[in-house]
Amino acid sequence: MRIGKQDQPFSAISTSDAARIVVRGKDLCADVIGKTDFTSYFWFLVTGREPSATQKFFADAVLTAIAEHGLVPSVVAARMTIAAAPEAFQGAVAAGLSGCGSVVLGSAEAAGQFLAQCLADAKSRAVPDAEAANAAAAALRAEKKAIPGFGHPLHDQGDPRANLLLKLAEEKGVVGPHIGMLYAVRDALPAALGRALPINVNGAIPAVMLDVGFPLAALKGVSLLARTASLIGHLQEESERPIGFILSGAAAAAISYDGPES
């Protein structure tokens, strides 16, 4: 059974023959290897265009900002997986990435979609950003849903990564409609929630990346690529200084059984 339209059997990413490998129209060996850094290559693979110096700068900044933040659930899952299956390095990486969803790491994608929808609403109704932001925040509040891109359980006085990314955006002159809407939503929160919330890194990342031209549909890939690097680092450390079973034991000790005794 076909699912969806299947009438364009083409790909513009890569092809190869006995003599060469072509990626997005470039000869991999003649034009890319040894001549292109990985961040630029990532941008090129995703968009089909080489990044500008500013785009590369912010892609680098964002990837380093989101890669590592301690023993978060994705890292714990990866380290516990390789402790139980030391031969499955790829499985441990996959275990870590599989947990990157709407609560941890994947919220940058949700925040990006939220900002894009707010901008689309402002345009369709021909209203200022502030009005669209107020309506969107109030709607989420009415549904008892979180405002994506705001608040942090640890950095309650402000996420330093977000603050720096937004400061860099202002210094580099790339503040555009998405960062503008991010600020409008921030300003709407006291009325919608009864209190202010700081912008977190998953709010700053999509605002900055979208304003420098990265595609909305690929936003989650930025976080996944960054976290993959961190997971590899954790798994290398796990091979030398294992804590996977310590984490497992600590989880078991922290949870009490409250089911039937017999």
Q: How confident is the model at residue 6 (pLDDT cuts 50, 70, 90)?
A: confident
Please work out, in degrees rounded to the nearest 5, the angle formed at the alpha carbon of residue 184 by the alpha carbons of 164 and 138: 125
For range 26-54, the mean pLDDT: 97
pLDDT value at 184 more than 80: yes
Structure tokens at 156: 């309650």
Residue 1 has a pLDDT of 59
DSSP 199: B
pLDDT value at 141 more than 80: yes
| Distance from C-alpha of 81 to C-alpha of 92, rounded to nearest angstrom | 5
Contact between residue 116 and residue 149 where contact means Cβ atoms under 8 Å apart? no
Residue 127 has a pLDDT of 97
pLDDT digits (tens, 9 = 90+) for 142-155: 999 999 999 876 77
| Distance from C-alpha of 81 to C-alpha of 79, rounded to nearest angstrom | 5
Least confident of 154-168, 194-208, 232-246: 154-168
Tell me the fold of 107-217.
Answer: Cytochrome p450-Terp; domain 2 (1.10.230)
| Distance from C-alpha of 206 to C-alpha of 58, rounded to nearest angstrom | 11
pLDDT digits (tens, 9 = 90+) for 216-262: 999 999 999 999 999 999 999 999 999 999 999 999 999 999 999 98
Q: How confident is the model at residue 107 (pLDDT cuts 50, 70, 90)?
A: confident
Residue 236 has a pLDDT of 97
Structure tokens at 183: 């600020």
Could you state, in order of their start, the residue ranges of all structural domains in the chain? 12-51, 107-217
Residue 176 has a pLDDT of 98
Mean pLDDT of the chain: 94
Beta strands in the chain (DSSP E): 14-16, 21-23, 26-27
Total-model pTM: 0.92
